[in-house]
């Protein structure tokens, strides 16, 4: 059974969230991927994260059960995230952004650095990285499919090895068992997210101004956002640690759940 669905009013409309774990300590706010809702986080991943801290996952404006319109810029998505923090009384939080959420998290950290205690950037990049490996040429075509098949999902998020495919199928089974899900991302919301992504400005030139500790992680074989871009963040942010997972792609955090959640726990506890 999914945790209770909560709603909170903001100037962008009523936003939806779920929360798990103990109340004590700095909460961890999760920022979701492109085309994902708050119910597309792996339940095993959530359970392990929530063992030692409060975790909060919400849907940005126009996504899932949240009201409002999807922002037309990534910075606008960060503005909604900040309004959500205000509405639920989060004066400061640790932030974990995955994929598109990783870009939103960086914008949030620049917009309100005093509100972000620690920053975790998973399967993401800083934009503005012209050098190094590029995304797989099939990625734009597959991302643009109106509906992603299981094959599409496995291609985008997991490696084609036996271990990678097994991990991807296990992840899909766990997601399939999630009850009481919020509505899936609509076609209009999907197109608005695409417009925001395509018009996103680079964050690379601002990496040196990230004052909080940063944990950067990815799979070495990410076909969407190559791991080199995680390396760029770790190299150019002043206080950043990089962790890369073997035989793993964009969905590494749901393939190496025990290892990555333990890494997150150490990172947050050490600071």
pLDDT in tens, 66-100: 999 999 999 999 999 999 999 999 999 999 999 99
- Let me know: does 15 contact 59? Beta carbons within 8 Å: yes
C-alpha dist (Å) from residue 33 to 41, 58, 163, 251: 9, 12, 23, 11
Average pLDDT in the chain: 95
Mean pLDDT for the stretch of residues 218-226: 97
The pLDDT value given to residue 25 = 78
Nearest CA-CA partner of 27 in 4, 60, 50: 50
CATH class of 6-270: alpha beta
Query: And the tokens for 176?
Result: 């399939």
The pLDDT value given to residue 1 = 46
Model confidence at 177: pLDDT above 80: yes
**Would you give the DSSP letter of residue 113?**
G
- Let me know: does 247 contact 222? Beta carbons within 8 Å: no
% of the chain at pLDDT higher than 90: 90
Q: What is the pLDDT of residues 179-190, one digit of tens each?
A: 999 999 999 999
The pLDDT value given to residue 53 = 94
The pLDDT value given to residue 198 = 84
- One-letter-per-residue 3-state SS of 145-159: CCCCCHHHHHHHHCC
Query: And the tokens for 261?
Result: 């959640």
What are φ and ψ of residue 116, in 5° steps? -110, 110
Give the span between the Cα atoms of 11 and 13, in whole angstroms.
Answer: 6
pLDDT band at 271; cut points 50, 70, 90: low
Q: What is the pLDDT of residues 108-161, one digit of tens each?
A: 999 999 999 999 999 999 988 999 999 999 999 998 888 889 999 999 999 999
Query: And the tokens for 102?
Result: 């990783």
Helix and strand totals (H; E) in the chain: 10, 8
The pLDDT value given to residue 114 = 97
Burial class (CB in 10 A: 0-12, 13-18, 19+), 144: exposed
Give the span between the Cα atoms of 98 and 119, in whole angstroms.
Answer: 11
- Let me know: does 203 contact 128? Beta carbons within 8 Å: yes
Q: Tell me which of 21 and 52 has the higher pLDDT.
A: 21
What are φ and ψ of residue 162, in 5° steps? -60, -45
Nearest CA-CA partner of 108 in 195, 249, 192, 203: 203
Residues paired with residue 243 on neighbouring β-strands, in sequence order? 217
The pLDDT value given to residue 26 = 86
The position carrying tokens 């490996």 is 133
pLDDT band at 247; cut points 50, 70, 90: very high
Model confidence at 29: pLDDT above 50: yes
Mean pLDDT for the stretch of residues 227-234: 98
């Amino acid at each position: 059974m999914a945790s209770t669905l909560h709603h909170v009013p903001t100037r962008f409309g009523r936003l939806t969230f779920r929360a798990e774990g103990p109340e004590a300590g700095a909460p961890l706010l999760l920022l979701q991927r492109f085309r994902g809702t708050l119910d597309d986080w792996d339940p095993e991943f959530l359970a392990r994260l929530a063992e030692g801290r409060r975790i909060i996952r919400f849907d940005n404006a126009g996504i899932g059960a949240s009201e409002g319109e999807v922002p037309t810029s990534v910075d606008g998505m960060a503005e909604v995230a900040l309004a959500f923090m205000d509405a639920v009384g989060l004066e400061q939080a640790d932030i974990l952004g995955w994929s598109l959420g990783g870009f939103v998290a960086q914008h949030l950290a620049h917009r309100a650095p005093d509100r972000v205690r620690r920053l975790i950037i998973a399967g993401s990049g800083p934009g503005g990285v012209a050098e190094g490996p590029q995304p797989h040429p099939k990625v734009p075509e597959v991302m643009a499919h109106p509906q992603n098949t299981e094959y599409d999902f496995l291609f985008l998020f997991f490696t084609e090895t036996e271990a990678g495919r097994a991990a991807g199928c296990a992840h899909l089974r766990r997601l399939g068992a999630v009850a009481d899900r919020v509505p899936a991302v609509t076609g209009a919301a999907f197109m608005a997210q695409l417009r925001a992504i395509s018009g996103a400005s680079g964050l690379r030139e601002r990496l040196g101004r990230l004052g909080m500790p940063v944990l950067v992680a990815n799979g070495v074989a990410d076909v969407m956002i190559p791991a080199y871009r995680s390396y760029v963040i770790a190299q150019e942010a002043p206080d950043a640690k990089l962790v890369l997972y073997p035989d793993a792609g964009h969905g590494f955090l749901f393939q190496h759940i025990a290892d990555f959640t333990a890494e997150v726990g150490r990172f947050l506890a050490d600071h």
